Chains A and B, each alone.
Chain A
Amino acid sequence: MNKKIKKIKKNNYKYGFYTNIKSKTFPLGINKKIIKKISKIKSEPKWIKNLRLKAFKYWKKLKYPNWSNLNYKKINFNFISYFSKIINNKKKNNKKIINTVKKLNLPINNKKKKVAIDFIFDSISLKTTYKNILNKKGIIFCSFNEALKKHSNLVKKYIGTVVPYKDNFYSCLNTSVFSDGSFCYIPKGVKCPIELSSYFRINNNLIGQFERTLIIVDEGGYLSYLEGCTAPIRVNNQIHAAVVELIALKNSTIKYSTIQNWYSGNNKGIGGIYNFVTKRGVCYDNAKITWLQIEKGSALTWKYPSCILKGYKSIGNFKSISFTKNFQQIDTGTKMIHLGKKSKSTIISKSICLDNSINTYRGLVKINRKSKKSKNFTQCDALLIGNKCISNTLPYIIVENSNSIVEHESVISKIEDEQIFYCNQRGINKEKALTIIINGFSMDIIKDLPLEFFLEAKDLFKIDFKNSVG
């Protein structure tokens, strides 16, 4: 490899390496046969196979979505492999995986950082840690595949209840071909003593990753969940289309944090992951869901973690930092659907926009006729660096009753030269000065991150600004 490329990789994206490992990969294309094959290789229950086929039938009829603010070449879904699994039982492979885990800095077998982790590599969950300790408290934490076998009834009861397959193009595709993911159940009154997490790694260069996460927190329970993801540096675009469903029953709390750090493409806009994700949670009486996200990677992001505030006094929060550079495009935001009385939602979205990137906040606040005395507060701040980037704020607000309150604040600012000069005058160079200011801008949200497992916070916005500022 060219030394220069090596250097770029080292500087900009620590996780851009590829693990050379033997795997079984399905041929390219999507059809009934492939779906049956996925179902078979996972030896899953019949009802899930039927669900897949039903979804696929519906998907074929769906129109390709083009309403978002994203510009890209139409995806050919027959140029994707829908399943790849490393070949097991070989000592060599084991070593390679252990090495990969080390390079990714994952806290598997790390006694200092107590976090349970479900590690998903391409299409399959490779390891789930702390399962036994959690089991003692009645907590179920395992791969989706295992859940389908061991906790079939729970999965059957809740899957598709928050994000039905008919919801949208990508949730429908996901339902047809999903390969694995994480499952979690917190029993009544149990506060999960450690952080749980999923880590998604795309390795194979032909696959699309389609995983599902289903989390159920029973009455009075508490869970803090963290999700991270990375992929190798490649010139082709790969697709990642996930579905996450959260069910927060009466009086329970779920905090779901994401650090999305997929490969974002190079400074000419070549390569990077296309990230199409449907995340949604439902809150029953007095329940609370907080979505916290740091969107930093991917060439394209299409993602709206949402809350259905079904219950009385239920609470939904969405806190997001989206950071785009080069030719990245992010279209993200949330939907807060107020159905219950006195429900409350807060949206804080911060976007930081560099180079030629496009950063769009798109959000819906809908207060139903019956959701009386409800409240929403929305704040969208954007920070622009340079003259070529674009930042959009697209709030949709629907209020169907007369005693609810909706507030919306939106501020777009450019980094002030005065601030940079001040730092310069103290001997701090321009790059470091920008990093300081951006970190300050994002602090409201960074400080709420549960713990810094996948990425040290100080590394979050440590980027090469040389191209961005003249």
Chain B
Amino acid sequence: MLNINKLYVKINKKIIIKNLNLKIKKNNIHILMGPNGSGKSTLSYVITGKPKYKIINGKIIFNKKKINNLLPNKISKLGIFLTFQYPIEINGITMYSFLKNLIKKKKNKLKIIKKNLKKLKINKEYLKRYFNVGFSGGEKKKNEILQMLILKPKFIILDEIDSGLDIDTLNLIFKIIKEYLFLNKNSSLLIITHNTNIINYINASFIHILYNGKIILTSNKIKKTINYINKYGYNNIKNIKLL
């Protein structure tokens, strides 16, 4: 599904991703971990085509299509979805009038939106509120998942969806994500997180460690890797290869 090959990325004259390779197949869940500033969010921005992140070498292939130079809205239309770590606010625009734009061609917009609101246990009064304005951290994250459900993407990147969430919201969000993957068998997931508890919420098939803009470890021994990180942190990360 997603194939990143020998990727180099530059922002403001600084190279922040160096020779990165990543392969994610259909119907797979991958976890991406790494210390602060290792390039995790950068990678998610590069995949989704954020301007100013310049690819100087390498390829990103999504479903056999090279997406390196596509506009971000075109990449979104291919079915790539990113939940933002810090979702933006738009004053003056209601939730409903924003969400409508996501399913322009569908006839029963309100019905689709309301159905998904219910799943997330969001009061439908929220549709009248301005987009993310005055929302709590948890409400903003729920709004991200709401848009995921509405857009029905094929490849989902969760960028620290779990930061700052209470236990009930966390449970609810992962329950919904698992259900989504169950119903959309071809979809895949990349989870970017700092939370080593993640394995209690979802079963992944691979874990990657990003360090200094490079993936230094890819393993299917999720538990073992995470235990190692819990014990030694990222400082002795080079030895992790011995696992």
In angstroms, Cα B50 to Cα A122, docked, is 51
Contact of A436 among B50, B81, B93 (CB under 8 A): B93
Do A421 and B51 have beta carbons less than 8 Å apart?
yes
Least CB separation from B48: chain A residue: A425
Report the contact-size class of chain A (Cβ under 8 Å from the partner). Answer: 20 to 34
Nearest Cβ in chain B — how far from A433, in angstroms? 8
Do B72 and A442 have beta carbons less than 8 Å apart?
no
Do B72 and A421 have beta carbons less than 8 Å apart?
yes
In angstroms, Cα B101 to Cα A417, docked, is 19
A-B contact pairs, 30 of them (CB 8 A): A416-B88, A417-B51, A419-B90, A421-B51, A421-B72, A422-B84, A423-B101, A424-B72, A424-B76, A425-B72, A425-B73, A425-B76, A426-B76, A426-B101, A426-B147, A426-B151, A427-B77, A430-B71, A432-B101, A436-B90, A436-B93, A436-B101, A439-B92, A440-B90, A440-B91, A441-B91, A443-B91, A443-B92, A443-B93, A444-B92
A-side binding surface: helix, strand, loop or mixed?
Answer: helix
Q: Which residues of B contact A439 (CB under 8 A)?
A: 92-93
For residue B22, CB closer than 8 A to chain A, the reply is: no
A419 touching B88 in the complex, CB below 8 Å, given contacts A424-B76, A432-B101: yes
For residue A459, CB closer than 8 A to chain B, the reply is: no
- A residues at B contact (CB < 8 Å): 416-419, 421-430, 432, 436-437, 439-444
B-side binding surface: helix, strand, loop or mixed?
Answer: mixed
In angstroms, Cα B98 to Cα A437, docked, is 10
Within 8 A of A (CB), among B133-190: 147, 151
A424 touching B71 in the complex, CB below 8 Å, given contacts A417-B51, A436-B101, A440-B130: yes
Contact of B76 among A418, A427, A432, A443 (CB under 8 A): A427
Do A440 and B93 have beta carbons less than 8 Å apart?
yes
Contact of A428 among B87, B91, B101, B131 (CB under 8 A): B101
In angstroms, Cα B77 to Cα A242, docked, is 50
A428 touching B73 in the complex, CB below 8 Å, given contacts A421-B50, A421-B51, A436-B101: yes
**Additional 12 contacts, C-beta under 8 A, given A427-B101, A440-B131, A441-B92:** A417-B52, A421-B50, A422-B87, A423-B101, A425-B72, A428-B73, A428-B101, A428-B102, A430-B71, A436-B98, A440-B90, A440-B91
In angstroms, Cα B195 to Cα A391, docked, is 46
In angstroms, Cα B52 to Cα A421, docked, is 11
Do B51 and A427 have beta carbons less than 8 Å apart?
no
- B residues at A contact (CB < 8 Å): 48-52, 71-73, 76-77, 81-82, 84, 87-88, 90-93, 98, 101-102, 130-131, 147, 151
A440 touching B92 in the complex, CB below 8 Å, given contacts A425-B48, A426-B101, A426-B151: yes
Q: Which residues of B contact A429 (CB under 8 A)?
A: 71, 73
Do A437 and B73 have beta carbons less than 8 Å apart?
no
Do A425 and B88 have beta carbons less than 8 Å apart?
no
Q: Which residues of A contact B92 (CB under 8 A)?
A: 439-444
Q: Which residues of A contact B73 (CB under 8 A)?
A: 423-425, 427-430
Q: Which residues of B contact A426 (CB under 8 A)?
A: 76, 101-102, 147, 151
In angstroms, Cα B71 to Cα A370, docked, is 61
In angstroms, Cα B98 to Cα A130, docked, is 39
Nearest Cβ in chain B — how far from A320, in angstroms? 16
In angstroms, Cα B52 to Cα A437, docked, is 21
* 4 closest A-B pairs by CB: A440-B92, A443-B92, A424-B72, A440-B93
Do B151 and A427 have beta carbons less than 8 Å apart?
yes
Do B88 and A418 have beta carbons less than 8 Å apart?
yes
Nearest Cβ in chain A — how far from B63, in angstroms? 16
Q: Which residues of B contact A430 (CB under 8 A)?
A: 71, 73
Nearest Cβ in chain A — how far from B91, in angstroms? 5
Nearest Cβ in chain B — how far from A322, in angstroms? 17
Nearest Cβ in chain B — how far from A438, in angstroms? 9
Q: Which residues of B contact A432 (CB under 8 A)?
A: 101
In angstroms, Cα B80 to Cα A5, docked, is 39
